[in-house]
Amino acid sequence: MGDFVHLHVHSNYSILDAISSIDSLVTEAAQQKYSALALTDHGNMHGSFEFYKAAKKAGVKPIVGVEVYCARDTVKEPRTRDNPTDHMVILARNETGYKNLLKLVTRASLEGFNYVPRVDPDMIREHREGLIGTSACLSGGINSYAIGEKFYNRSTKTYEYTDPDYAKALAYADRLKNTFEEGCFYLEIQDHSTDTDMGLNQCRMDSQKDMVTKQRIVVETAKRISKELNIPLTVSNDVHYTKQPDWNAKDTLFAVRTISKKYDPERKLTTDSDQFYLKSKAEMIDRFRDFPEAINNTVLIAEQCDLDIAVGENHIPVFDTEGQDVIKYWRNKIREGFEAKYRPGTEYRTEAVQRVKYEIEVIESMGFVSYFLMVADFISHARGIDIPVGPGRGSAAGSIVSYCLGITEICPLEHKLIFERFLNSERISLPDIDIDFCKKRVGEVYGYAQQKYGEKNVARIATFSSMWARSLIRDVGKAYDIPKEEIDSVASSIPEGAGEFRAKIEEQAEDNELIKAYASASEVWQTIIEDAKALEGAKKAVSKHAAGFVIGDDDLTKYIPLMRPVKNKPGKKKNQVEQEVSIDTTDTMMFTQYPMDDLEELGLIKMDFLALETLTIIQDCIKLIQKYENIDVTTNVTYNNLLSPAAYSLMSLGNTLGVFQCESPGLRHLLMQIRPEQFSDVVAAIALYRPGPMDAIDEATGMTMMDKYVQNRTFKRQDESFTWEVLHPEMDDILKETYGIIIYQEQIMDICRKVCGYTYNEADKFRKAVGKKIPELVAKEKKAFMKGALGQGNMAQDDADKLFGQLETFARYGFNKSHAAAYAVLTYRTAWLKQEYPIYYMSALLNASSNKSDGIDKRKYVNDCLLNNMKVYAPDINKSELTVVPQDGGIRCNLSMIRGLDNISEKIIAERKENGEHTSFVDCITRLSKVGVNKTSLEALINSGSMDSIGNRDQMAHYGWDLLQAVRKKQKREEGFASILDDDELDIPDMSSAPTLDKKVKDSMSVKYLELYSLEDK
Ligand SMILES: [Zn+2]
Ligand SMILES: [Zn+2]
């Protein structure tokens, strides 16, 4: 049998067009004994590296390519009749070609974007080394000339057709031939004619016939051009789904994408052939039996392609040390921090010296010195310009070097945090330090990264949303015109859940009774389920990763493809075909095309800058205290020893609304049970209050981890002599602070080390393997564990067995103590501020939550103030400031807390700042009119009670609008004849006869406008 290779293949990264996952394509190709396979998604390389890895693993040679959008003439002009956007397939022959492809797709997005990212022949020419081009489908440029083209005439609003033009096709083929290197351009022929009855209506049958006719013309033209210009032919199948029956799911996807009904005869986007699948060699060879040479050319092309993408190299930028030796510089930095944090004679100094030396050695040998310096630099830069930074997050808090460099704020020795939980020297992978910044100003730190490392070397990370069971059933059901109620009931019977807990259609079809019932009763539902299965996991959209970005040592396009994200043009929401998109220019950073997981393997360092509102609240609170009390509590909050009993008493009372991580009723209840007295109690509470430990039952006692902890702690406090049993004496010390309960991953590591003689690296490996619940892994670890426990640990078989069982459970639920401890610092800080400076803290909290529109948080916090006997004054037109502020021993709400006031409050305050307080009703209305208050906002101002200090609310409510109109009239007259009529009188209505409103009615009105419970009217 002859050979053939697929060189034109789309995965589901051809978003909302092709539906195959890369995995299914590669698996199918391997199964069919294909020696090589290409991936050529539309205009992007999102899947290139994933495909490269998967194919290599499956023993299929990966050929990385793209079906680019090519401006027929130039990207300098937008898409027009004379410069339309064509398809063209480009494949990388080698590493040079791959790098050129990276440049091309990046430039297509950055320079060539017009509806889609475009390249043009000149741009390709600049990067042509190592590339092979083929003329693509019916949408290719040469083919368009050959078959005649359809244009939309904007002025007449009709479609127009041009005649087939062989001469133009020939000339363009010549241009493209010369665009690529000698002998590197091919004419591609396709044949998607089908004999199967696809159940199409007449209209679609016609369009199928039309496509087949056109493909035949292309074949004939290609034969002619090939002879005249000596361009070789090649064959492709333009694969859009893996197996033939999937054609229907792809067609359904088009219905979903255009928000139309599957069987609508007028539907615009349809699939009219079932032949776009990964055909076998025999099928391809048979279909193109008249073109043995073209078939053979696919094999020759594949043989020319040989790509090795460099993995495992390290592209971390070298940190600029201003001429100093990097190692010297970094050791000095650490020394400075060390001396400030561990002064001679202090508790942890001796231990710290050892630990620092060890960590320095590991980090240096792993080559991460620059990375640490970069992180430390971002933080010190941010602090230098007064941007709040978090005390640390994740496992980085386990490193004393991080602490000395100011990356984290807690001493790992004091809190028993383990370095190996963060960096395992046996498992070379880049460290992952995430940083929290103030929510308002995190953008400035991104800006600094760009400025410091070069705009080309920094990019945000792209992420993809995909179609999963629930939404798929909805979308597909809608396309099949299933009644809404029916769709709703089925969709809501599918459990929600993300990651590994996400519901899968396959399982649902077997286990979900409702789905089973529908499927057995109706054929349509069977089809829906089949389609949904085929579409599951298909990509829906590309978006920005919330926090992640990468920094490289050079122009990133040397390593990865980049892009600018697109955004929908404003206006009415249209379906995804008609929706016009443009480049999103709100983000000045470029985006990676590769997803996050690929970047590390390619040696790029990833960082996460997270926006944490709590940091903003803390800073705002400190500023308020400074302004109103003239006290600077910065040091209390930053460098205190987490010892103030005030903070703990607040937590013990469960009075922690607005306290970081302690808002939920469940955690507040837990705090009341634990009654924290010291920092470690808070860390434990945070680690315990999560789904695992809350529900995990300890088999011996039948209690949950959480309850057991609470019980032991309570007993211990009642009776100092209370003890608990541990399986090994070494565990006494390890579990002392958590009352005999294993809460932290670090404790598991310590137990393994002390009992079995593991190194920390081994212990970290143990923890991970056992926690994953994979039977083979667990069995392997158990064998080693038992050996250590019985030998070094001197344990009895029975006890060792039990201990392993315990560790197995806790490895699953144990929490990363480094993270809990770092975050507990913020819990402590916010608790301390709330307890010691409640008015200021609640003001800051209310100001932060006033950005959110629903008002739920606001109401919740106002209630909390009232419960704590704090005075909360209603908004007052003369007393309120732009934000919530401390006033007269309480909190003064701002005008924007009044519902229906829109955005006028800023103007009202600004006017008052300039002209002083409002002295009377008439004065007030005159001035409000000038800043543009309308009827609705005036009613809101009056009925909320915010004007009570200047007049009688009954009268104001009754005559306010009349007066405003009168004032407006007068102001209009004045604008016209200012100088002549200054003595123009204002028609002030007689207000004495206003009806008096019942107090209850008035109160309910103010509640309506304030959405708050009744406040002080002062
Ligand atoms: Zn195409
Ligand atoms: Zn294609």
Query: Which residues, other chains included, contact 625 with Cβ-Cβ below 8 Å and sequence gap of 6+?
Result: 631, 632, 633, 837, 840
Distances (CA, A) of 735 to 661, 743, 750, 796: 24, 9, 10, 20
Percent of the chain with pLDDT over 90: 59
* Nearest-ligand number for the alpha carbon of 137: 1
* Alpha-carbon span 398 to 744, nearest angstrom: 13
Question: Can you read off the two tokens belonging to residue 102?
Answer: 């990276």
The position carrying tokens 């010190």 is: 380
pLDDT over threshold 50, residue 999? yes
Q: Which two tokens stand for residue 282?
A: 């025999």
Ligand 1: centre distance to CA 541 (Å): 20
Strand 566-568 versus strand 605-612 pairing type: unpaired
For 87-145, write each residue's pLDDT tens digit.
Answer: 999 999 999 999 999 999 999 999 999 999 999 999 999 999 999 999 999 999 999 99
- What is the rounded CA–CA span in Å between residue 531 and residue 473? 9
Distance from C-alpha of 771 to C-alpha of 811, rounded to nearest angstrom: 5
Q: Indicate whether 984 pLDDT > 60.
A: no
Alpha helices in 317-408 (DSSP H): 326-341, 349-366, 369-384, 400-404
Cα–Cα dist 842/845, whole Å: 5
Q: What is the mean pLDDT of the chain?
A: 89
Alpha carbon of 234 to ligand 2 centroid (Å): 14
pLDDT confidence of 855, banded at 50, 70, 90?
Answer: low
CA of 40 from ligand 2 middle (Å) equals: 7
Please report the pLDDT score of residue 1012 as a whole number: 55
Which tokens sit at 491? 């969709």
* 393 Cα to the center of ligand 2, angstroms: 45
Q: Residue 727 in contact with residue 799, Cβ under 8 Å?
A: yes
Taking the centre of ligand 2 as the mean of its atom positions, its distance from the CA of residue 135, in whole angstroms, is: 10
Amino acid identity for residue 320 in this structure: D
Which span out of 19-28, 627-636, 703-712 was modeled with the highest average pLDDT?
Answer: 19-28
Indicate the range of 71-85, 243-257, 409-423, 803-817 predicted with least confidence: 803-817
Check residue 543 and give its pLDDT: 81
Mean pLDDT, residues 644-666? 93
Determine the average pLDDT of the residues in 597-617. 91
Rounded distance from Cα 863 to ligand 2 centre (Å): 60
> What phi and psi values does residue 571 have, to the nearest 5 degrees?
130, -170
In b/e form, how buried is each residue of 705-720, taking b as 16+ CB within 10 angstroms?
A: bbbbbbbbbeebeeee
Ligand with smallest separation from the Cα of 69: 1
Give residue 138 CA to ligand 2 midpoint distance, Å.
Answer: 9
Q: Which ligand is nearest to the CA of 238?
A: 2
What's the gap in Å between 197 CA and the centre of ligand 1? 25
C-alpha distances in angstroms, 194 versus 273, 568, 832? 7, 37, 74
Q: Which residue in this structure is represented by tokens 């990212």?
A: 117
Per-residue pLDDT for 981 more than 50? no
From ligand 2's centre to the CA of 169, what distance in Å?
20
- Among residues 536, 538, 481, 545, the alpha carbon closest in space to that of 509 is found at 536
What is the edge-to-edge ordering of all strands in the sheet holding 885-887? 871-873, 890-892, 885-887
Question: Which ligand has the minimum distance to the alpha carbon of residue 88?
Answer: 1
- 329-366, pLDDT tens digit by residue? 999 999 999 999 999 988 999 999 999 999 999 999 98
Distances (CA, A) of 898 to 444, 958, 961: 32, 19, 18
Alpha-carbon span 745 to 780, nearest angstrom: 20
Residue 223 near residue 287, CB atoms below 8 Å: no
- Torsion angles phi and psi, residue 673, rounded to 5: -75, -40
Identify the nearest ligand to the CA of 41 by its number: 2
Residue 453 CA to residue 554 CA, distance in Å, equals 9
**Residue 915 neighbours by CB distance under 10 Å:** 11
| pLDDT classification of 980: cutoffs 50, 70, 90 | very low
**pLDDT score of 80 more than 60:** yes
Residue 103 neighbours by CB under 8 Å, 6+ apart:
127, 557
Crossing angle of helices 469-479/523-535, nearest 10°? 130
Predicted local distance difference test score (pLDDT) of residue 777: 85
What b/e string do you get for 556-573 counting C-beta neighbours within 10 Å, with b at 16 or more?
bbebbbbbbbbeeeeeee
Q: What is the pLDDT of residue 621?
A: 96
Mean pLDDT, to the nearest integer, of 523-545? Answer: 89
Surrounding residues of ion ligand 2, Cβ less than 5 A: 67, 238
Q: What is the predicted pLDDT for the residue at 184?
A: 97
**pLDDT tops 90 at residue 189:** yes
pLDDT at 569 over 70: no
How far is residue 732 from each of residues 396, 440, 534, measured CA to CA in Å?
27, 46, 55
Could you tell me if 821 and 683 are in contact, meaning their C-beta atoms sit under 8 angstroms apart? Answer: yes
Structure tokens at 22: 């890369």
What phi and psi, each to the nearest 5 degrees, are found at residue 681? -65, -40
At position 599, the amino acid (one-letter code) is L
Q: Rounded to whole angstroms, how far apart are CA atoms 110 and 104?
A: 10
| Whole-number pLDDT of residue 979 | 47
Higher pLDDT residue, 975 or 361? 361
Dist CA 200 CA 272 (whole Å): 8
For residue 327, what pLDDT is reported?
95
- The per-residue pLDDT for range 763-774, each reduced to its tens digit, is 988 988 888 777
Q: Are 846 and 861 in contact (CB under 8 A)?
A: yes
The neighbour count for residue 999, using CB atoms within 10 Å, is 8
Among the bound ligands, name the one nearest to the CA of residue 135: 1
Q: Higher-confidence residue: 522 or 278?
A: 278
The torsion of the CA quartet 22, 24, 30, 32, rounded to 10 degrees, works out to: -130
Q: Ligand 1: distance of its center to the CA of 67 in Å?
A: 7
Does residue 1013 have a pLDDT over 50?
Answer: no
How many whole angstroms from 190 Cα to the centroid of ligand 2?
A: 11
Ligand nearest 9 Cα, by number?
2
For residues 445 and 551, is the Cβ–Cβ distance under 8 A?
no
Residue 209 identity: K
Instruction: Give the C-alpha separation, 349 to 341, whole Å.
Output: 9
**Which residue in 683, 681, 691, 668 sits closest to 713, CA to CA?**
681
Q: Is the pLDDT of residue 583 over 90?
A: no
Number of Cβ atoms within 10 Å of the Cβ of 59: 12
Mean pLDDT confidence for 275-292: 97
- What is the pLDDT at residue 987? 67
The model's confidence at residue 854, banded by pLDDT at 50, 70 and 90, is low
- Which of helix, strand or coil describes residue 119? strand
Q: How far is the CA of 87 from the centre of ligand 2 (A)?
A: 8
Q: What pLDDT band is residue 1018 in, cutting at 50, 70 and 90? A: very low
Ligand 1: distance of its center to the CA of 652 in Å?
A: 66
Tokens of 736: 């002392």
**pLDDT band for position 576 (cuts 50, 70, 90):** low
The mean pLDDT of 971-986, rounded to a whole number, is 62
Residue 1011 has pLDDT above 70, yes or no: no
C-alpha of residue 535 to centroid of ligand 1, in Å: 21
> What value does the mean pLDDT take over residues 721-729?
89
Spacing of C-alpha 999 from chain mean position = 50
Dist. CA 865–CA 873, nearest whole Å: 11
Least Cα distance to 755 among 779, 801, 791 occurs for: 791
Q: What is the mean pLDDT of residues 518-522?
A: 88
Q: For residue 138, give the ligand nearest its CA.
A: 1
Q: Is the pTM of this model over 0.95?
A: no
